[in-house]
C-alpha cells in the first residue's frame, strides 16, 4: 500500500517536471509572438503617426514669434547706429536729454509705421503666392481629370467598369478639394497667428515707449527746475 503511494507521488513529480519543462520551451515562442505583435503594431502606428501640434511645429520653443526683420532697431532711427540690436532702440531714441518730446514721439511713430507697412507688404505677397500656387495646382488636377475622361471614352468598357472609373474619379476629386480646403485653412490660421503675434509685439513696444517717454519727460522737468 505504501509502495503504491510512493509510486503515485513519484509519477506526480515526473508529470509536474515535464509540465514545467514544456512551459519553459514554449516561453520563447510566446515571447517571440508577443514581440512580433508589438513590432507589427509599432510599424502600423508609424505609418500614419499622430499629427503634432501645428502651432508647436510652426513656432518652435527656440524660435521667436516675431521675425527679426519686424523688430524695432536703432537702424530705423539713424543710418549708422553705434549698436544694432533691438535693446538699443530706446537707448538711441532717448539719448539726447534735450530732445523735444514731440520729436521723439514722431520718430517712434515713424519707425512703427515702417514696420507695419513692411509686415503688411510681406503678408500680402505670401497670400498672393499661396493663392497662385493653389490656383495652378487646381487647374492641373482638373485638366488631368478631363484628359483621363477623354482617354476613357475612346474605348468601350462594360457598365461596371464605367461606373467604377467615374466613381474613382469622383472620389479623387473630392479628396483633392478636401486637402485643398485643409491647406487653405492651415495657411489662414498661420497668417492670423503671425498677425496677432506682430500686433502683440507692437503693443508691448508702444507701452514700453510710453513708459520711457513719461520717465524722460520727468527727467527733463526736474532738470529745468534745478537750472531755475
Give me the pLDDT at residue 125, please: 95
Give me the pLDDT at residue 64, please: 59
Average per-residue pLDDT for the chain: 76
Distance CA 137, CA 145 (A): 12
Give me the pLDDT at residue 198, please: 94
Element (H, E) at 131: helix 101-153
Rg of the chain on CA atoms, in Å: 37
Q: Residue 97, Cβ neighbours under 10 Å: how many? A: 9
Give me the pLDDT at residue 110, please: 93
Q: pTM of the prediction?
A: 0.63
- Check whether 28 has a pLDDT greater than 60: no
DSSP at 86? T
- 193 and 54 Cβ atoms separated by less than 8 Å: no
| Domain segments of the chain as ranges | 1-50, 53-227
Q: Provide the grid cell at 74.
A: 536703432
Give me the pLDDT at residue 46, please: 32
Check the CA dihedral 147-153-154-159 and report its sign: positive
Distance CA 97, CA 223 (A): 10
- Check whether 50 has a pLDDT greater than 50: no
Kindly report, residue by residue over 77-98, the tens digit of the pLDDT. Answer: 766 566 667 778 888 888 888 8
Distance CA 195, CA 120 (A): 9
Amino acid at each position: 500500500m505504501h509502495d503504491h503511494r510512493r509510486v503515485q507521488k513519484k509519477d506526480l513529480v515526473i508529470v509536474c517536471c515535464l509540465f514545467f519543462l514544456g512551459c519553459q520551451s514554449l516561453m520563447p515562442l510566446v515571447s517571440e509572438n508577443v514581440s512580433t505583435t508589438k513590432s507589427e503594431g509599432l510599424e502600423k502606428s508609424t505609418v500614419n503617426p499622430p499629427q503634432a501640434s501645428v502651432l508647436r511645429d510652426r513656432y518652435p520653443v527656440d524660435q521667436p514669434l516675431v521675425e527679426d526683420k519686424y523688430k524695432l532697431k536703432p537702424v530705423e532711427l539713424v543710418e549708422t547706429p553705434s549698436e544694432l540690436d533691438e535693446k538699443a532702440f530706446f537707448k538711441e531714441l532717448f539719448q539726447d536729454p534735450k530732445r523735444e518730446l514731440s520729436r521723439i514721439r514722431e520718430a517712434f511713430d515713424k519707425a512703427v509705421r515702417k514696420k507695419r507697412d513692411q509686415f503688411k507688404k510681406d503678408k500680402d505677397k505670401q497670400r498672393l503666392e499661396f493663392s497662385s500656387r493653389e490656383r495652378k495646382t487646381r487647374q492641373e488636377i482638373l485638366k488631368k481629370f478631363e484628359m483621363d475622361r477623354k482617354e476613357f471614352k475612346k474605348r468601350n468598357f462594360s457598365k461596371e467598369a464605367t461606373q467604377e472609373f467615374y466613381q474613382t474619379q469622383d472620389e479623387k476629386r473630392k479628396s483633392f478639394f478636401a486637402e485643398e480646403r485643409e491647406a487653405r485653412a492651415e495657411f489662414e490660421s498661420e497668417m492670423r497667428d503671425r498677425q496677432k503675434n506682430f500686433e502683440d509685439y507692437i503693443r508691448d513696444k508702444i507701452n514700453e515707449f510710453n513708459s520711457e517717454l513719461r520717465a524722460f519727460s520727468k527727467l527733463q522737468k526736474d532738470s529745468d527746475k534745478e537750472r531755475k
